[in-house]
Amino acid sequence: MCESFLDMEKNTVLVGVQWGDEGKGKVVDVLADQFDIVARYQGGANAGHTVVVDGKKFILQLIPSGILRPGKIAVIGNGVVLDPEALFCEVEAIERAGIQVGDRLRISDRSHLILPYHRMHEQAAEAARGDDKIGTTSKGIGPSYEDKASRRGLRCCDLRDARIFREKCKRALLEKNRYAAAFSGEVIADADQLIESYWSQARRIVPFLVNTADYLNREMDRGKTVLFEGAQGTLLDLDHGTYPFVTSSSAAAGGACTGAGVGPTRIGAVIGVSKAYTTRVGSGPFPTEVEGQGAELLRERGGEYGAVTGRPRRCGWFDVPAARYSSRLNHLSALIITKLDILDHLAEIPVGVEYQLNGHTLTEFPAEAETLERVETRYKMLPGWQQSTFGLRDYAQLPQKARDYLQFISDQVEVEIAMISTGPGREQTIWMENCEWMKQTALKQQ
Ligand code: GDP
């Protein structure tokens, strides 16, 4: 049992409100200090959080960014799909930078593995879609989730026994080779060769494996607090996002329960992270998208290039209907706004406040991507502040027009703002003292 109401309240899910890349990596790094454990609950090595600590840049794709805080425990939950090669690349990069991972990393023995054939499958599937590409990272994440759902996946626990791993791998590959031969006349891979090349690397995971659901629940029983870190964003959630231009897992807050193995009543708060504007990587509807020079300026100022792929991100204005939809879905306790400083140069800032279709205002966020592609967005023009907010740490230092902009967003989305990020560094953060959630959880300002 949790020791007090406050402890329960403190277990928090942090989710992206938009299409990912909201700056969650930095925010988790800032908040991690106030929690004992940071746990990832979905996705794979496609998340690409960029975190800057003491001027050093870390790109974390798989390991929760809490690992960068000494003494904090990082958990990769059962809802994550894991590529051993990507994992150890990341562990080595973190250790090269002088941060010891050691026994601070726990990996769920139930999490599914990504095998080389998953990458081949995804590359072939994306190529076959021609102009209809989803725009995935082609890291085998989607196909690994497909195998999980069709019950032919290999899990990390299978690495504990060479015979079991070999048998399961051969069985999976037999089936895949049969399909591949029927479609293209070629097989995907030779089982013996694949097992040989994969096994020695993948086996290194075994010392990190535990039943993370049990671990997290036991630690919470002892009064330890957990920050659940969502990857991607709510609008990329498999069920609730802009399907089919979504990711293959449950990125919304609800995913924390299944993806980490904790009951809903253990979670006290859900915090949404949003940029002060919007970006999207890959294909799919984007109602507030800006084209041309306006987009170019946001992209350059915001460094909007994929952390994993280097692809230029599509850029646009803050989208109220989308943020409201996300807020409702996650039942947000508070909002964190990042990258406010990227808007510093603008004389006027459009905010998308309403979608219209055939002259009518939409009252709901549409289910069909085709409808969302067709909506016309109505904008409210807000005055820009045209002075630097970069690195500010105190709300009182913000120009009045920047405060008005933030207040407008908060009022429209109907969620209080708990924190504003004004730069990539930890300290470039404004904490909102009066936010109810901050008071309730007794978070300390740094
Ligand atoms: P994530 O996947 O949600 O963590 O987002 P990314 O890491 O892909 O993108 C966020 C990028 O913006 C990173 O390069 C961060 O260092 C940077 N960043 C985060 N917050 C701020 C901010 O408030 N201002 C500026 N200028 N950069 C920020």
pLDDT for 75-94, tens place per residue?
999 999 999 999 999 999 99
**The three-state (H, E, C) secondary structure of 354-381, written as one string:** EEEECCEECCCCCCCHHHHHHCEEEEEE
Query: Quick one: average pLDDT of 279-300?
Result: 94
Q: Closest by alpha carbon to 59, among 33, 84, 96, 31?
A: 96
**Contact indicator for 88, 124 with CB cutoff of 8 Å:** no
Q: Which of 21, 36, 83, 341 is catalytic?
A: 21
Burial of 210 (0-12, 13-18, 19+ CB in 10 A): middle
pLDDT band at 2 (very low <50, low <70, confident <90, very high): very low
pLDDT of residue 46: 79
pLDDT for 400-411, tens place per residue?
999 999 999 999
pLDDT for 98-108, tens place per residue?
899 988 999 99
* Cα-to-centroid distance, 22 and ligand 1 (Å): 7
pLDDT band at 178 (very low <50, low <70, confident <90, very high): confident
Query: Quick one: average pLDDT of 345-353?
Result: 97
Q: Reply yes or no on whether 49 is catalytic.
A: yes
Nearest-CA residue for atom 13 of ligand 1: 50
Residue 50 CA, closest ligand 1 atom number: 7
In DSSP terms, which residues pair with 12 in a beta bridge? Answer: 227, 269
Res. 271: pLDDT tops 70: yes
Residue 51 CA, closest ligand 1 atom number: 16
Cα diameter, the chain: 67
> What single letter denotes the amino acid at residue 268?
G
Is it true that 3-106+211-441 and 112-207 share their CATH fold? no
According to CATH, the topology of domain 112-207 is Adenylosuccinate Synthetase, subunit A; domain 2 (1.10.300)
Res. 12: pLDDT tops 70: yes
Q: Where are the domains of the chain?
A: 3-106+211-441, 112-207
In testing the pocket of ligand 1, which one of 18, 29, 31, 50 has its CB within 8 Å of the most ligand atoms? 50
Nearest-CA residue for atom 12 of ligand 1: 23
pLDDT band at 193 (very low <50, low <70, confident <90, very high): confident
Please give all residues whose beta carbon lies within 6 A of any atom in ligand 1, as ranges.
16, 20-26, 47-50, 52, 303, 307, 338-339, 341-342, 421-424
Res. 446: pLDDT tops 80: no
Residue whose structure tokens are 């002088």:
98
Q: Reply yes or no on whether 121 is catalytic.
A: no
Nearest-CA residue for atom 14 of ligand 1: 50
According to CATH, the topology of domain 3-106+211-441 is Adenylosuccinate Synthetase; Chain A, domain 3 (3.90.170)
Query: Quick one: average pLDDT of 411-433?
Result: 95
Res. 179: pLDDT tops 80: no
Q: Which of 7, 36, 49, 158 is catalytic?
A: 49
Q: Closest by alpha carbon to 280, among 304, 310, 298, 302?
A: 304
Q: In whole angstroms, give the CA distance from residue 318 to residue 409.
A: 8
Residue 231 CA, closest ligand 1 atom number: 2
Q: In whole angstroms, give the CA distance from residue 64 to residue 144.
A: 20
Beta-carbon contacts of residue 37 (< 8 Å; ≥ 6 apart): 66, 72, 73, 74, 75, 216, 219, 224, 225, 226, 227
* Cα-to-centroid distance, 409 and ligand 1 (Å): 19
- Of 5-9, 150-154, 237-241, 438-442, the one with minimum mean pLDDT is 5-9
